[in-house]
Every structure is written in C-alpha cells, then in structure tokens.
Amino acid sequence: MAITSANQLELLQTAEAVAREKMIDPGLVVEAMEESLARAAKSRYGAEMDIRVSIDRKTGKATFTRVRTVVEDEELENYQAEMTVEQAKQYMEAPEVGSVYVEEVPPVEMGRIAAQSAKQVILQKVREAERDRQYEDFKDRAGTIINGAVKREEFGNVIVDLGGAEAVLRRNDKIGRESYRPNDRVRAYIKEVRREVRGHQIFLSRTAPEFMAELFKMEVPEIYDGIIEVKAVARDPGSRAKIAVISYDGSIDPVGACVGMRGSRVQAVVNELQGEKIDIIPWNEDQPTFLVNALQPAEVSKVVLDEEAGKIEVVVPEEQLSLAIGRRGQNVRLASQLTNLDIDIMTEAEESARRQKEFEARTGLFMESLDLDEFFAQLLVSEGFTNLEEVAYVELDELLVIDGVDEGTAQELQTRAREHLEAQAKAALDAARELGVEDSLIEFEGLTPQMVEALAKDDVKTLEDFATCADWELAGGWTTVDGERIKDDGVLEPFGITLEEAQDLVMTARIMLGWVDPAELEQAEEDGVAADEEAEA
C-alpha cells in the first residue's frame, strides 16, 4: 500500500469513521495512525532511528521526520538517534546537551507486511481507547440496575450488550439455572466496574442482595423517596430471601408498603427473581426483637444474646423447631445473614437440660472447692453465684441474703474460696515456670498465673512473644468463609478476656519493649477520633 500516493484526506475520513463507530475521540485514531506509520518507516530506515510521523489534522498530510538528541560524549550509545555536541555543530549553531535536531525524511511506501502491522497498531489503540471510554462511562454506575440484550454465551457466562459497551454476567451470578438466548432482554445489577487490560470490565449480577434492594427501590416509591429504608437483605438466590425495612414516617407501615395492593409490588420483584419467595421483615434496633422478626414464620419463646461473641441463642417450642430451621437450614441461615449474628436454635426441652447440666456443674465445683454439702452448694448456685471469684470477693452482704448464712459462715466461705484460688494460682505459676516462662511475662500486669500457664502451653513464654500476638489470637473471634461464620478460639478466651482488653494488653507490652512510641500512638488515636467525628458530620 502506497500511503503517500493515496488521497491524504482519506486518512482523516477513515479516522473519523472509526471514531464515530467506536464513540471515541478521532484524535486518538489519528495518533494510532501516526504510530503505525512511524513503525513502518523504522522498518525501512532502521529500527535504531527515532522516526516520528505527524499527520496534519486539516489536510491529512503525513510528515516523516528523523529526530536526534544531543548527549555527552561518554553517554553516546545509539549513533542513529543521538550525537555529541561536536557532531551537532555541523547541523546547529550552538548545540547543548539535551538539544534536539529534527530533519524531514522522504515518506515511505508501505509494503503488505508493513500495512498489516500498521493495521494491528491502529486496532490495538482503538481497542484501548474504547475500553477507557467504557470504563469512564460506567465507573460511576456501579451499584445500579441496568437493562441490556444478550449477545452470546461463553462457557456459562452471558455477554450482555449495554449499548456501546459489553458486560459479563458470570455463571455464579445467574439465578439458578437461568438460560438466555441471543437478543433476550436481561435486567441485572452492576456489581463492579474495574479497569482491566484484557477481558471484560463491567461485571453484572442477579444474585447479589443489592439487586433485590434496588428492585424494591424501583417498585416502592416510598423507598425511592427515603421514607422507607432497606436496612438488610439476605438471599438464597432463586429460592428464598428476607429483606428488613424500616419506616421513618409513623403513619406508613413499611411491610405493607413493600407488599403493595394485593401484593402487586412484591409480586413484581418475585417475577423478576424467577419466583424467589420473599419475607419482608420490620427492622428493629433491638437485636433480639429483630431476630424474632427475622425467624418468621416460626414462633420464638426466648432469646439470649451474647454481644461480645456476636452469638445468640434462640429457644423455640418443640413443634416450631423444624419451621425455625427451615428446609436444609435455610430459614435460620438467612436470619443469621440478615442479623449478622451466629444463631443457635434449641427446643425448650434442650434448653432446660442444658441449664440443668450447668447447675449441676456449678454445684459440683462449690462442693469440691469449698467443701460444702450438696444442699448448701445448690443454694449458692440458685442465688446466681457462678464461680469461686464471685464468692471470694463479693460484698459480704450479698452472701448474708442466703437463707441460713450468718456473718461467720459468710466469712468462712470467702476464706475457703480465697485459699483455693491462691492454691490454684500457685500451681499454675509453678507449671508455667516448668514450661520455661520468663519473669518478664509472669510479672506483666494484667495476666493472671492461669493466663500465663495457658500462654506457655501455646508456646508464648516471653514478653516479646506476647507482644507479637494478634488481639484475636488472645480473645478469639469470628471469620466469614464462603458466607459462613467460623469460630477462631483465643488462648485467653476461657478467662473472659474481650477483644478490646487483648488490644490494650498487647499494645502495653509493645510500649514496654520500646516497639511503639506512646506519643505517636496518642497522636494516631487523636487523628482517628477526629476522622470519625468528621465522617459523622
């Protein structure tokens, strides 16, 4: 192809046509043409040369130039694209290092191979520009619902034409066994838009909980207007879902508004989600109350909340157990996702048996440790005493309220409890020393001898070892894996240590060892508080 003999305006016409078709800037196409022509010229004149091409944006004329840069004598490496100050004097009046000498060279005739290479460069540049344009157009639309037409299906993934852009609905983001044919209309949630060098950039989902929330926003004007808010959504895509809503207007029932006249509003969402059954639940700030609502249609007898562990026990009548758990555990799993709590469901009989077992275990502890008869130990447990520390260090008056306990008996009980605790502490300390624990850890304030022994068994034997521990390694925590909460046991968790207390202990150890500057820590805390206040504002 002889580019020089062709109609020069044809270059600009081609650039404009391509830019119009791909909805990109014509200037980007012209730049791609310049680069492709420069490559062809280098293959003709030599790859070492710095050949550049400039296409006039009005006439389409292509100008080929050779550029040489002036460098220091010792830095001269490429004789075709560089020259020394001395060599430059024959071309320039007062050359300096960094000066550039530009001379025009004859245009080149593009052979078949060069033309093919030029075409590849232009196509690549156009693709990059098109991808950049798509990213800029859609990056702010993540989190919204979009309609598109199915273009094709690749290995279970559906390619969707959004009009000027392509998106992908991956296999695990489809509801159940949905299948699509070319040109089918599809509505989906824009889950993510990210810049990728290759492949798709716009990722759709029909299984995301947010998809359901956005569908309700489209069907329920009160949600769109902010009168009703969707607080949480949990889904088993294609099967069942729970959505929690709250109304900021006392005269509007949030559940009724979402259901609509004769169920018209919720039915529209159900139809879009392939018949997914939806439970609409009133949201409540009180977690136990919210959980009772979330477990509908099952009835709940009692709820016991452990806020520190993020765990909750639910007691239901025997006949309600299967309903509360649901088919394959679906109802309780969705309720757990909705409330973000780990839920244990038990019948009234199971709870009664568990409480009886706890009662017997505490009774046995007091009988053995304090040398009491069974009746007296049961009295202590009935009054709410659960461990020896409570008996040893409680106010004397709290023991005197027990029937048959006078001041002398109360003091004797406390003496026995303290002696037993001291004996336990000494035994734990001896065991820890045998395991090789250093005094730096034994003397560290905030750790009991029993805690030190537990740490030693976990191979934490020095203050340095303790300072490297993570707070969750000490206090325990929860990890979410594949949507399920898994318990991580902490070394000091049996002693009732909280995550905040573990953080304080570890940070104190690091300060004592000089690993952390207290002044910097204080400044970081102040900055954090200021940032939180700014975010709230």
Contact 458, 489 (CB under 8 A): no
Q: What is the pLDDT of residue 291?
A: 85
Token reading at 226:
């902010």
In sequence order, what are the beta bridge partners of 221? none
Q: What is the band of 7 on the pLDDT scale with cuts at 50, 70, 90?
A: very low
Q: What is the band of 1 on the pLDDT scale with cuts at 50, 70, 90?
A: very low
DSSP state of 239: T
Q: Give the mean pLDDT of 320-338.
A: 84
The number of angstroms, rounded, from the C-alpha of 219 to the middle of its chain's C-alpha atoms is 28
- Identify the CA nearest to 466 among candidates 494, 486, 496, 439: 439
* Topology of the domain comprising 5-132: N Utilization Substance Protein A; Chain:P; domain 4 (3.30.1480)
Domain with CATH 2.40.50.140 in the chain: 142-207
User: Out of 3.40.50.1820, 1.10.357.10, 1.10.150.20, 3.40.30.10, which CATH number does the structure's domain 436-529 have?
Assistant: 1.10.150.20
pLDDT tens figures, 22-42: 666 777 777 777 777 777 777
- The bridge status of strand 100-104 relative to strand 82-83 is unpaired
Which residue matches tokens 């970081």? Answer: 524
What's the whole-model pTM score? Answer: 0.58
The number of angstroms, rounded, from the C-alpha of 1 to the middle of its chain's C-alpha atoms is 54
pLDDT at 492 over 70: yes
3-state DSSP assignment of residue 158:
strand
Q: What is the pLDDT of residue 2?
A: 39
Better-predicted residue by pLDDT, 403 or 248: 248
Q: What is the pLDDT of residue 316?
A: 85
Single-letter amino acid, residue 509: A
Q: Give the mean pLDDT of 297-326.
A: 78
Domain with CATH 3.30.300.20 in the chain: 284-363
Percent of the chain with pLDDT over 70: 86
pLDDT tens figures, 109-129: 655 555 566 566 667 777 777
Better-predicted residue by pLDDT, 463 or 346: 463
**CATH code, residues 284-363:** 3.30.300.20
Least confident of 210-214, 221-225, 237-241, 399-403: 399-403
pLDDT tens figures, 165-177: 788 898 888 887 7
Better-predicted residue by pLDDT, 161 or 116: 161
What does the chain come to in residues?
Answer: 537
Better-predicted residue by pLDDT, 320 or 199: 320
pLDDT tens figures, 44-86: 777 778 888 887 777 777 778 888 888 887 777 777 778 887 7
Calpha distance 135→463 (Å, rounded)? 52
Token reading at 380:
């202590």
As to burial, measured by CB atoms within 10 angstroms (0-12 exposed, 13-18 middle, 19+ buried), residue 361 is exposed
Contact 171, 140 (CB under 8 A): no
Burial 306-317, CB ≥16 within 10 A → b, else e: eeeeebbbbbbe
364-432 homologous superfamily: 5' to 3' exonuclease, C-terminal subdomain (1.10.150.20)
- The bridge status of strand 277-282 relative to strand 240-247 is parallel
Q: CA of 495: how far to CAs of 323, 384, 431, 463, in Å?
A: 36, 19, 18, 19
3-state DSSP assignment of residue 480:
strand
- In DSSP notation, 241-294 reads EEEEEEESSTTS-HHHHHH-GGGHHHHHHHHHTTT-EEEEEE--SSHHHHHHHH
Calpha distance 32→162 (Å, rounded)? 26
Contact 209, 234 (CB under 8 A): yes
Which residues 6+ apart lie within 8 Å of 19 measured at CB? 25, 26, 28, 29
Q: What is the pLDDT of residue 9?
A: 61
Q: Give the mean pLDDT of 279-298.
A: 87
pLDDT tens figures, 185-213: 999 999 888 877 666 678 899 999 999 99
Q: List alpha helices for 371-406, DSSP H.
A: 374-382, 388-393, 396-400
Which residue matches tokens 């700014």? Answer: 534
Q: What is the pLDDT of residue 3?
A: 43
Question: Terminal CA-to-CA distance of the chain, rounded, Å?
Answer: 66
pLDDT at 342 over 50: yes
Calpha distance 9→189 (Å, rounded)? 45
**DSSP H helix total and E strand total for the chain:** 22, 17
Better-predicted residue by pLDDT, 86 or 238: 238
Domain with CATH 3.30.1480.10 in the chain: 5-132
Phi, psi torsion values for 356, nearest 5 degrees: -65, -40
Burial 395-430, CB ≥16 within 10 A → b, else e: eeeebeebeebeeeebeebbebbeebbeeeeeebbe
3-state DSSP assignment of residue 274:
coil
- Identify the CA nearest to 160 among candidates 141, 182, 177, 138: 182
CATH 3.40.50.2300 fits 142-207, yes or no: no
Domain with CATH 1.10.150.20 in the chain: 364-432, 436-529
Q: Give the mean pLDDT of 134-156.
A: 84
